[in-house]
Amino acid sequence: MKVLIDYLKDVRLELSKVVWPKRAEVIRLTLTVFAISGIIGAYVGVLDFALTKLLEFLIS
C-alpha cells in the first residue's frame, strides 16, 4: 500500500511542475488543427474524385 501512496505523491508532484496552456492558446491551437484537418480533407476528397473520374475514363 505504501508503494501506491508514494507513487500517487510522485504523480502529484510531477503534475504540479507542468506548465498548462492558457485557455486562449488551447482554443487557437484547436482551431488550427480543425482548419488544417479541413484543408487536408478537402485535398484528399478532390484528389479521390479526380482519380475516380480518371479511372472511369480509362476503363470505359
3-state secondary structure labels for all residues of the chain: CHHHHHHHHHHHHHHHHCCCCCHHHHHHHHHHHHHHHHHHHHHHHHHHHHHHHHHHHHHC
Q: Flag whether 42 is in a domain.
A: yes
Domain that holds residue 41: 21-60
Residue 19, pLDDT score: 95
Q: Flag whether 58 is in a domain.
A: yes
The number of folded domains in the chain is 1
Neighbours of 33 (CB within 10 A): 10
Q: Flag whether 43 is in a domain.
A: yes
Q: Flag whether 16 is in a domain.
A: no
Q: Flag whether 59 is in a domain.
A: yes
Q: Flag whether 56 is in a domain.
A: yes
This model's pTM is above 0.75: no
pLDDT in tens, 8-44: 999 999 999 999 999 999 999 999 999 999 999 999 9
Nearest alpha-carbon partner for 38 in 46, 27, 50: 46
Q: Flag whether 51 is in a domain.
A: yes
